[in-house]
Amino acid sequence: MLKKKNPLLLILLVLLYAPFGQVIARGNDSFAQAHALMQEFFTTSGSPGLAVSVGQGGNIVWSEGFGFADVEQMVVVNPAQTLFRIGSTIKPMTAHAVAQLVDAGRLDLDAPIQTWVPDFPQKRAPVTTRNLLAHLSGIRHYGKDEFMSRDQYATVTAGLVIFQDDPLVNLPGEAYGYSSYGYNLISAVIEGVSGQDYLTYMNANVFIPLGMDNTVPDYLGHIIPGRGRYYYRQQDNVLNAPEVDNSYKWASGGYIGTSDDLVRFGLAQLTTGSISKTTHEIFWTEQTTNAGEKTGYGLGWRITIDENGHKWIGHGGGSVGGTTQFWIRPDDGLVIAMISNMSQFDFGKILISLGEVFVPE
């Protein structure tokens, strides 16, 4: 284990290695500013490793890795190749797949989910895919120690047994209630509509077309090149995170990937024609409860305004041994992704500060 009270050793080891990174062009002051800002943040953050990528104007313009993907083996972070757990940032990608099916006229957002998942138990009121995407379904979130599950599930529908017989927390539309299990159910909807298993559909229709070659399911037993290690903090110590099996929640938090791939996905939202403008606007529109209360969430996307009045659309992700932030500033064509291999890591306002380096006030 790594002692927090002696962080100098880790910092000195990191400085022995040139950081992995890439830029579109050299000699730009913003790159030097970005490096200095993130180096200072990382040095005091307590995270074993950190991957940061920035996209602008349709390209990845700057990315860099800090610290170690594997502390014990002293493997440095490479933002183009190091795969960390990306947590709930897979939810916008699942929503992207749903949007494709909506555009193709194959999926009605307001039809009961039993239309495509007939074996899912009926609830006291119909639940729709729109409800699930917006966290307005009443389907519950994790309970007890479910987040630490080590059980393996062979299929998406097998994983639904964890929650499918539980009653709704509230009637659909009555209240916002964040639910990763709701997104597990969405993956079953995708399977029912497309006739393909969720993992196959995502790879063929989202990841490959968008050049996201390093976004893959977090299979516990597989050898996956570039996969980093996972850590958590216990008082003054950094420890290896406990082993978990994420096969029950591919669509809501079961993938690993790179910060570069996250930025590629964000840039595609600004530049690709894979989703119609009309559908895109629907998914990026803040939803409301039946009573008209705003939720801060669209269909698969969080929506927020920073203290400078800039609109950001994106998602965070919390995993066992990983924390991710992925955000788009649409008005400026800016995309930023950051991944730490530390549970419950606090990024603070560093992402907004980095955005100001590339789009000064």
Return the domain boundaries, the chain: 1-84+322-361, 85-225+236-256+269-301
b/e string for 41-55 if b means 16 or more Cβ within 10 A?
Answer: bbbebbbbbbbbbbb
Q: Does the predicted model carry a pTM greater than 0.75?
A: yes
pLDDT of residue 127: 98
Does residue 168 register a pLDDT over 50? yes
The rounded distance, in Å, linking the Cα atoms of 136 and 224 is 36
Q: What backbone torsions phi and psi does residue 15 show, to the nearest 5 degrees? A: -70, -15
The rounded distance, in Å, linking the Cα atoms of 139 and 339 is 28
Q: What is the mean pLDDT of residues 246-254?
A: 98
Q: Pick the more confident residue, 60 or 25.
A: 60
Confidence of residue 25 (pLDDT cuts 50, 70, 90): very low
3-state helix, strand, coil in the chain (%, to 5): 35, 20, 45
- Which CATH architecture is the domain 85-225+236-256+269-301 placed in? 3-Layer(aba) Sandwich (3.40)
pLDDT of residue 310: 93
Does residue 296 register a pLDDT over 70? yes
